[in-house]
Every structure is written in structure tokens, then in C-alpha cells.
Structure 1
């Protein structure tokens, strides 16, 4: 593995073609969003490296038994556990997320590896008796799952470890070779995870990691007919472009979210405030499932807002490497400027900022905004940052209509003590997830996850569902 020093403590890493370091003269410099310090460099790939990675994956090698796949994933989990603080600090260095968040992310990634390892041991095949109709025969039909010949995974910046694990681990558990193209903004953690997998005994043909110009890496991978699946998490615009360019292959698209938290007048107020703050500010608000609209029944609006403002003051924004920091940076200064701008536009339209809102570089304070118009850019489009816009609703019907009014349909939450209203919300919110008395983003790593409308194609992720996508069903029958 490659590890040298650049600018003191920065890493010098490379992409990999089936375990072999990419050789080129082009380097990507990765800097901290907080202080512009160099976190590391990555050797970039070109079209020839992309072709070589495809060839290596298709050439294949030793086939892995179910136990082999389990052992590799479990060993990777153990290696990650032993180096959890190193990984947390690396995520902080390249993403600007505070240690509170990056340590939590490492824990989630360990869960992904654990659940994928366990699923590798399971056989979900089915058996069908053929003598169940007058036209039947004395036969049985059996099903089994076969791995794809090659999959491509393209991951975003906001969860540099967990998003990568959610694509690579199910592929390995299924026996499918994968080429990973991580975000250029946070590639260091992804490469480190690949190195752990190699160290754990993963046959090198099973995984390549490439970064480079879009036309020489990502577009080649997406369009190549030998690739049988493209799994992408990221923006709506890029996701739809991939869908148009991919051709005749499987496509998994996990895109944006504009997730509402509905708070009804019978809600536990302390719980509601906690869920709103945690949902809006964790991970610097950079989660597709973050709380992006807080819809509060008008009878409790003022009390809720007052308590949310006080709670928001507890979310210290600053140096992500400091233990007391609860909100680090967003991914870069242009992202922070965009968020600052959408707040200004909302204020110009009549909204009021009650707490936070100040920006310094890529740091943006957690921000409580009220009187936000329903057609404001910050609530119609996805605002990927620590913003907590609060909007009044008359009742549950009004809240559901407002929640469903955007182009997105990923996740939602509703805070209520009334089970009938909770069930009504589950039935009428057009979202991939509806959580009762919990943040929209709550899940475990093997449960189904995904959205509808511009949030994705409705194809679910989560370890179990992803493994289905990384395989195809083969049926065979025998006399019986």
C-alpha cells in the first residue's frame, strides 16, 4: 500500500486497478474545507486505466465461496474497528465534518460490513413444486442468485466511508466485481477502505478504485456495455444524466431529498425539538435524509420555535477537529455561499432568521428561519446544509399536502401521540420512508432504503436489497 507524507501529515494515495496502483503524472490535491490544509493527494487515472480496470474485472480469478465472502467482509470490519479513530480523523480532514459525526459514520460502516458478511452466508433461493395444477408435472423448480459480471459504483462526498461501504460490501457479499468511482471531494477515505479490503484477502480483480476526468473515467464506465449495473448516489441532475447515458443495463439511482418533519399539536414537545435539531444539523445538514422542512401545527408553532432557538444555541459550530464542535463545515465555501444566498432570498420574501445564519468560509452556523414562504427556493429545492426552516400548517391534511408538494419523495417524519394520525400519514405521504416519532433519516444498515419521484427510481438500497440488485435470479428444474 502507498503511504507517504505530503505537506507534513497529508497522505499520498493512488487509485487501484485490481489492486495495482495507478501510474500517472496527474495528481488530485484534496484540501480541508475548514482551513484549506492539504489532507492528501491521489494519483489520477485516464481512459487507459479505466479500460484496464474493466478488463481485469472481466478476466476474473479465484471464485469466492459464501464463507470466503463472509470471512473477507468480517475481517475488514475487524480492521476498521482497530483503526476507527484513524478513519474518523481522515473523514474530518477531507470533508470538514466534526469528529462527533465521523466517529458515528465509522460505526455505521462497521454495521454495513457486519450485515453484508452475515447476508453472504444466507441462501434466499426458492423451491416451487410443479404438480400444483392440472397442467403440472412431477418436477420441482429451484432458484438461485448469480453474481453480475461487473458493476460500477459512483459515490458522493457527504458520507465518504458509509456510502462507499453501502455499495462495495453488498457487491462483495454477492460475488460481483465492482469498480468504484468515489467523489473527487472526499476520495481519501474510499481508497483507505479499498486497502483494508485487499488486506483482508479480497481477490484484487473484485475491486478497482479510479478517479480522473469525467470523460475518461465516469462516462466510460457508465456507457460501457460490459458493465451490467451502475449504482449512483448523488444529485438529481447527474443521476438523470446517467440514466440517459447508461444504455441497456441496471441502474440504481439514490438522489436528493427534501425531507419534512411534521409536528402535530399533540406531540411530545421535547422530542419534537430534539428531532428537529438533530435532523437538521447533524452531518452539517448534508444528508439526503436530513430534516429540510419543519412543518409545525400553528397552535404550537410559537412555543416550538422558541425552544428550537434555545436548542440550536447548543450546536457549537467551528473547527471540526475540536471535541466540543457539534457542527463542522459544509463541503466547501461555494456550497456555504449558496446556502447563505437561499437564506437571503427567503428573508427578502418575508422570512425571518431567529438564530445563526452567519458564514465564515465553509462554516455556516445552524440557522433557524421562520415565516418561510411555501414557494421559497430553500424549501422547494433541496438545501444541503444546517438550515432549519419552520413553516406553519393548519392540520395534518395541510401538512401532508405541503410535504408532498415538492419534486422529491425520499424520507419523512411525523411527531404525534395519535396512532390514527400516524397511520394516516404513513398511507398518504408519498415518500420512500415515513418514520413515526423519529427523524426522517432513521434506518439500520440492512433495511430497505430509497425514494420516489426525483429522489430515485424506487429501487431500494440497504444491504439486503442492494445484494438483490448485484445479482440475477437463475431458475432450474429437476424431475421430482
Structure 2
């Protein structure tokens, strides 16, 4: 595989604590999944580093007006859009995501910044009259939303290196909060780039501290430090449940995994449905909590649908992430690719049929289609976080709903049908946070509520508006009227 980075592109990053780039004796290497090159290093924070970041954040009292917060976020959005190529290169080189996907991600991050800027200007108070009942009084109740008294801990995953960070940081800035962020040690360069962009746009450095390190060493301090009021986490179920067990009497926003279905009914336009199937499975290398993880297809159309999915999968270009003609790059590392290979082989050994793919070279894993899949197979019972399309069949809508609901997850879903009665049943009966008609499960805009139920999440939803609610305390003030 060819070299991607010249030596000038190497990024040696320190922690961001109190406005300083803190160099540490220990560092973490950042490796390009495609080339195997070391593309950067980041500081490895100690518990003392985390405590110092917490103390600085807690001691600072933000005084930014709504206008000032909005201006900072809009300025950061403009800077990011101007630097799309540079910023997307960082995402691609540290994560292996294709340039197509990383450029798209930069657009999403800029949207988060702009939406946050708009929400910072919105008056979020309410007014209630109190003379509504026979025993009421001539008074008014006015609500306000205040920043948290303590610090927000944010922990982000690898799959959207900058957008996941933006969804934590932007609502914090919009609400005048203080945050200590720990990005994934696999993709930390994007987080530091984003933080520096906000500082350049005028954000007081005390409002955002960034620490990287070994989770086994510093994670507990980020969870149980007495300054922490709220923990917002996106990632796997096991870690989410661990956080819940450690957090104690603290607010939590846990956005966890998914096992999202694309349900194809017998009346569906199969060309359109198969387009959604491959896009939902392979965009972002299949590494999305809302990727299509299961294709539930009516038995009457399964053969034709499968044929179309196989043909479109074979046409899906993958390889060098920096090649702009490729639609897919690598997965996050070789270990992940080996896992996908393993669970597909296991399913085939149990009676599934491999139709295309399951080829691996390092962290490069080909788009893969498997049919004759059964619900008890690991491939679909657990979340397969990669570019695999498992096809399962059902006889009627009742069975489709049972199959969809028959997992521990409940994040999102996509529905392909033109019958309003079926669409309505799915909307009412699927045990998920989102039902998208004629769209991939992951479709949303950065403003709208996002989150799941069951093992897919706990607490408030994400999305800029919902996060702003969870990042604030509601206070009521009453007065004679």
C-alpha cells in the first residue's frame, strides 16, 4: 500500500489544559489504518492531568452573552468550511474513512456549529399564568435555563472522529458550560483540531479542556471526580453500562449501539430499496450506530432484492481512502476487520450463504453480502459494526415486527413500503427511537432529537436542541402579576 502522509503532515499534539498545549512524558501513537504509518502522537494524560483540567474548568465562570456564544460558533463554522480539505484529510488519515465520507462529515460538523449558534440565540424560557384554577393566584411563573454548576465530562468514539466531538462540545458552548473532553485514543487528532478551531474563533480556553490517554488509567477520574455534574458518552453498550454503574448521583446522556433493520415489504420499489440497503451498510465503512445491520426482506421479493444488492455491492469502490473515486476506505483497524471476517465465517458455518465479499487485507475489509441468515447468529444477534449486509426473510408484517424487536437494541430503523397502513404499524410498534420511511435508519439532521431505547441508550437524547436541554438546569421564578 502506498504512503499517504509526507513528514510535514505529522501532527504531535499535547493536551489542551487551561489554554496550554501540555506535553507529556508518555505519548500515544496515531496510526493510519490503511498505510500502517504513524501519522501523529498525542499526550497520554495522567490522573493528575485530568484533575488539573477539572479544577481549571470548575473555577472558571463563563460570562459570554448569547450573541457572543452564537458568534463564536458561527465563526468556527465558517473557518471549518474554508478548511474542508485540510480537516477531512485529518479524519481520513487517522480513521481510514474515505475522502468522500470525511468531506461529508466536515459538512455535518459545520451544520452542528451553525445549529448551535442559532439555538444560543433562542429564548428558551416559558411563561405560565397561575390563575387557571379556582384556587389559583394572580401570579406568573417564568422559567429560565441555567448552565450546570459543575463540569461536563464528554467521552467520544472513533467512528465519526469530529462530528461526535461536535455533538458534545457545541451544546456545551451554546449553554455557557465548561467541558472536559476525552476523545477516542484511536482518532484524537480530529478532536484537537476542532478544539483549536473554537479557540481561534474566540472561545475562552477554560470552557473546553481536552485530554487523551489510556481509558484504564483516567476514565474513572473523568466519571467520579467531584466537579463532574454530567457525563455524556457515545460508544459501546458494555462501556455505557460501566459508566452507569460508576456515575452515582450524576446526570448521564448515554448514546450506545444499534442493530438497525432495513425492512423491505413486498410492495417496495426494489431498485430504490437496494440503493438504501448498500448506502446504509457501507457508508462510513459500516461503522455507524445507525448503519443497516440487518436487512429484513419479505420472502416474495427476497430473491430479486438480494440480486440487486449483490450487484450494487460488487460495484461499490473501496480501497485507498485518499483516492476520491473510492466510496469506502478501511475500517478502524485490523482487529476490527478480523472480527467481521470471523462472524461472517461463523454464520456461513451455521448455514448462511456468502454471496460476495468477506475479503480482508489488514484493516481493509470488502463490502460483504450474506443471505439465509437466522436471528440467532452472532452476525445479527450482536452489533456487527462494519460493512456487512446480512439478509433475512419474513412472511408477513407481524413476523417483520417480531424480528425487528427481537434484539436487545432499539436505536433506529428504515422502512420500504408504499402502504400507509403498514408504515403506520411500523411507526407505532417498532421498539426504536427512530422510524424512517423510505430512508436509511441513520437519516437525520444535526438539530433533531436522536437516541434509542433498551440497550441503545439511557437518558436524554442527542441532537443540538435535546442536548441543550440536558446540559442545563431549569429554574422557575414566580412573581405577582
TM-score range, shorter chain: over 0.9
Bigger CA drift: 14-23 or 408-417?
A: 14-23
Q: Residues 225-276 of structure 1: CA distance to partner in whole angstroms, max 9, x if unpaired?
A: 3210000000000000000001111011000000000000100111101000
Bigger CA drift: 21-30 or 67-76?
A: 21-30
User: Matches of 1:439 and 1:370 in 2, distance apart?
Assistant: 19
Shift of 1:7: 4.4
Shift of 1:134: 2.3
Bigger CA drift: 173-182 or 55-64?
A: 55-64
Q: How many residue pairs align between the two structures?
A: 476
Q: Secondary structure at the match of 1:157?
A: coil
Q: Residues 344-392 of structure 1: CA distance to partner in whole angstroms, max 9, x if unpaired?
A: 0000001111111111111110001011122100000000000001111
What does 1:244-393 align with in structure 2 at a 5 Å threshold?
244-393=245-394
User: Matches of 1:130 and 1:182 in 2, distance apart?
Assistant: 46
- State the match for 2:472 in structure 1: 471
What does 1:181-192 align with in structure 2 at a 5 Å threshold?
181-192=182-193
On the 8 A contact 2:62/2:207 being kept in 1, the answer is no
Structure 1 residue runs of 4+, over 6 Å off?
none
User: Matches of 2:377 and 2:466 in 1, distance apart?
Assistant: 36
Shift of 1:216: 4.1
- State the match for 2:243 in structure 1: 242
Bigger CA drift: 49-58 or 178-187?
A: 49-58
User: Matches of 1:98 and 1:220 in 2, distance apart?
Assistant: 35
Q: Residues 192-222 of structure 1: CA distance to partner in whole angstroms, max 9, x if unpaired?
A: 0000000111011100000123254321010
On the 8 A contact 2:252/2:459 being kept in 1, the answer is no
On the 8 A contact 2:62/2:176 being kept in 1, the answer is no
What does 1:59-98 align with in structure 2 at a 5 Å threshold?
59-98=59-98
On the 8 A contact 1:225/1:248 being kept in 2, the answer is no
Bigger CA drift: 130-139 or 76-85?
A: 130-139
Q: Residues 64-96 of structure 1: CA distance to partner in whole angstroms, max 9, x if unpaired?
A: 110010011001101101111101111000000
Q: Secondary structure at the match of 1:403?
A: helix
- State the match for 1:41 in structure 2: 41
On the 8 A contact 1:356/1:368 being kept in 2, the answer is yes
Whether 1:168 and 2:169 are equivalent positions in the alignment is yes
Structure 2 unmatched runs, 5+? none
Shift of 1:105: 0.4
On the 8 A contact 2:94/2:186 being kept in 1, the answer is yes
In structure 2, the CA distance between the partners of 1:268 and 1:305, relative to structure 1 (3 Å rule), is same
Shift of 1:135: 2.1
Q: Secondary structure at the match of 1:411?
A: coil
Whether 1:210 and 2:211 are equivalent positions in the alignment is yes
User: Matches of 2:55 and 2:459 in 1, distance apart?
Assistant: 31
Shift of 1:458: 5.0
On the 8 A contact 2:14/2:24 being kept in 1, the answer is no
Whether 1:201 and 2:202 are equivalent positions in the alignment is yes
What does 1:53-64 align with in structure 2 at a 5 Å threshold?
53-64=53-64
- State the match for 1:157 in structure 2: 158
Shift of 1:302: 0.5
On the 8 A contact 1:47/1:220 being kept in 2, the answer is yes
User: Matches of 2:201 and 2:8 in 1, distance apart?
Assistant: 29
Cα root mean square deviation, aligned: 1.2
Shift of 1:61: 4.2
- State the match for 2:402 in structure 1: 401
On the 8 A contact 1:6/1:12 being kept in 2, the answer is no
User: Matches of 1:6 and 1:100 in 2, distance apart?
Assistant: 21
User: Matches of 1:346 and 1:232 in 2, distance apart?
Assistant: 31
On the 8 A contact 1:92/1:102 being kept in 2, the answer is yes
Q: Secondary structure at the match of 2:458?
A: coil
Shift of 1:136: 1.7
On the 8 A contact 1:97/1:320 being kept in 2, the answer is yes
- State the match for 2:50 in structure 1: 50
In structure 2, the CA distance between the partners of 1:397 and 1:458, relative to structure 1 (3 Å rule), is farther
User: Matches of 2:210 and 2:443 in 1, distance apart?
Assistant: 29
User: Matches of 2:19 and 2:136 in 1, distance apart?
Assistant: 51
TM-score (norm. length: structure 1): 0.98
User: Matches of 2:288 and 2:30 in 1, distance apart?
Assistant: 21
User: Matches of 1:332 and 1:106 in 2, distance apart?
Assistant: 22
User: Matches of 1:133 and 1:61 in 2, distance apart?
Assistant: 41
Shift of 1:9: 2.4
On the 8 A contact 1:259/1:290 being kept in 2, the answer is yes
Shift of 1:6: 9.0
User: Matches of 1:268 and 1:6 in 2, distance apart?
Assistant: 47
What does 1:6-155 align with in structure 2 at a 5 Å threshold?
7-148=7-148, 149-155=150-156
User: Matches of 1:268 and 1:427 in 2, distance apart?
Assistant: 23
- State the match for 1:445 in structure 2: 446
TM-score (norm. length: structure 2): 0.97
User: Matches of 1:72 and 1:463 in 2, distance apart?
Assistant: 16
Q: Residues 38-79 of structure 1: CA distance to partner in whole angstroms, max 9, x if unpaired?
A: 111112211111111111111114511100100110011011
